[in-house]
Structure 1
Amino acid sequence: MGEKTISLSDKIARLRGLFIEQLPERMAGARRLFDILRADPTVGEAATSLHRYLHNTKGTAASFGFLELSALSSKAEELAKAILENPDALPSNENWQQLGGCLSDMERMLEQSALQVGSSDGQSEQKLMFEMPSTKNAAYDTNNERLIYICDDETLMAEQLAAQLQCFGYQTVLFNNTAELRDAVLAKQPDAVIMDIIFPEGKSEGTNVLANLREKHGIRFPAIFVSARRDFDARLRAIQAGGEAYFPKPVSALELVASLDLLTRHSEPESFRVLIVDDEPEIAQYHALILENAGMVTRTTSVLETVLDMVGEFKPDLVLMDMYMPRCSGHDMAKLIRQVPDYVGLPIVF
């Protein structure tokens, strides 16, 4: 029996549970920092740590749906920030009471197990996160047969060519006149068209029809011309009509297939790479889950000393970084990264 697949919602629920388990210890730490500051507001390290804790709690609680806890943390964060930014100005008794009151409300909420997942409109939600459909590789299903239209008034040759292409996995549809081809293209665009040039309507009818589809209808697709004509004018008209290959008759099936493979092959794009830097491992993992579900490749770290090495090894397209972290801010970390010339243009989002 195979291993049970864990849904995105289940993974996020586990992170949410871990966050709840850690809250009592976090609240005790916040209360100790508050008591230190209450006794001596000039202890800058305590103010910095308290502000960072409240900032992290605000963001993490909101991510996991605890909006009331996030709102209390946000209010307390602003009060702690005022202390941090004005170390020489003693906070008023009212400020201390407000900050202490926010912490008490958070502690009371935790003691009463009153944490509730909510939505932005205040209504209770029964589910933390809806399952998101994965978009990864959705547009690149290489198992689908590639559709090729073949238009040639030499029916026998066209049928032989179609049979050969089908042996290589192509789906083919035959047309012996350009009017039918035009209608078919307007109804359903193929992956490529193999087109003769000479038809009863004229010696350049094939190129004229494809040029008209491009210019009048804006329809573009790989076109390969096959023709008994070998002159310069025929080849030039084929290029001007959007032709990307030209084969004089009789056509080598192997050479034609090689050209079709090249023109219709869909290369899967490289996934966008995001490095997530956050001193809260749970929130870093939360963001990673969301981004990976959208088809991106992620790496996470909560250790600032490893960031430069990870940038060099992982080569991210973007760095997603927390603003408030121990020892340095997100801005300081960004400056440190950009001291390396190769990383000057690396996008960093806070």
Structure 2
Amino acid sequence: MRTAVVIGTGLVGTSAALALASRGVRVHLVDHDPESARTAAALGAGTDEPAEGPVDLAIVAVPPAHTAAVLATAMRDGVARGYLDVASVKGGPRRELEAMGADLAPYIGSHPMAGKERSGPLAATADLFEGRPWVLTPTPGSDTEVLNLALELIALCRAVPVVMDADAHDRAVALVSHTPQLISSMVAARLEDADETAVRLCGQGIRDVTRIAASDPRMWVEILSANPGPVADVLAGVAADLDETVAALRGLQSADEDKRRAGTEGIQDVLRRGNAGRVRVPGKHGAGPAAYEVVAVLISDRPGELATIFADAGRSGINIEDVRIEHATGQQAGLVQLMVEPSSAPALAAALRERGWSIRQ
């Protein structure tokens, strides 16, 4: 691939353009808002000047509601040899293209499973897709050359290709992406009118659950509008679990011993099933979550503290598998949770204590 055009210079489009440009591909940037394309160009994502002729690959990075129309226009104008979109739903745009009578041979649907709470070109990074799944949804009629271009794009972005059926993809993202977004927003919405004394008690758990609730509502309305059925199906299952959990909690309030016992069993069941589902979430290197030991270190909010603790941990010769930071409410301090193999935890804790760090159990 020597040339590409990115149509839509938001977070995903600009990030793909940055990755391609950094690896020597000449990228042309197009957006309905010329200022957005100019911003992406100023970041080094390519040029907002039009291409002189057909490019190798056109990457359409616009909201799902507009994906098919933009693709059809680009294909009609012959802007590229191959066409690919990065919309978060796949079945709808493909069916719209078919209804328009478009030739689907030079087109492949795709969806990089990467994003941020922030949107727009200024949020883009060339490494956004590194190590992340990038779904491809080719059809039996997809041109082999276009499939190769799509695979080259994914390789240049250092993502991991995953081939799926378009409708199977939409059901999958309803479960692992779209429903979690709604549930996160619902939990965060409980905080809007909560008493300030309750909000001040927020810890890492509520921060984890509500992190993605900071996402752009307009963007998510567009995504959910393109995949409402599968999301509603998943939410219906969650709603059934909620009803059963509410009934179990009411049972725990009862003076009737049998109802209390049934309530306990109901709560245990939902927590057990949660444990079983969590184990299936891919962890490091794609494996299931490992049972790491946490070494919690008290740090102050001063420049260089994190760099120093990582350097001291590195001197111990122990690999840090993961890290989290829990901030202390209202204080200029917090806990860095260093996650290591269980057998390494005592040695790391001892090494950090020797260097003056305060270890918390």
- Common fold by TM > 0.5: no
Q: TM-score, normalised by structure 2?
A: 0.25
Question: Which structure has the larger Rg?
Answer: 1
Q: Which has the higher strand share?
A: 2
TM-score (norm: length of structure 1): 0.25
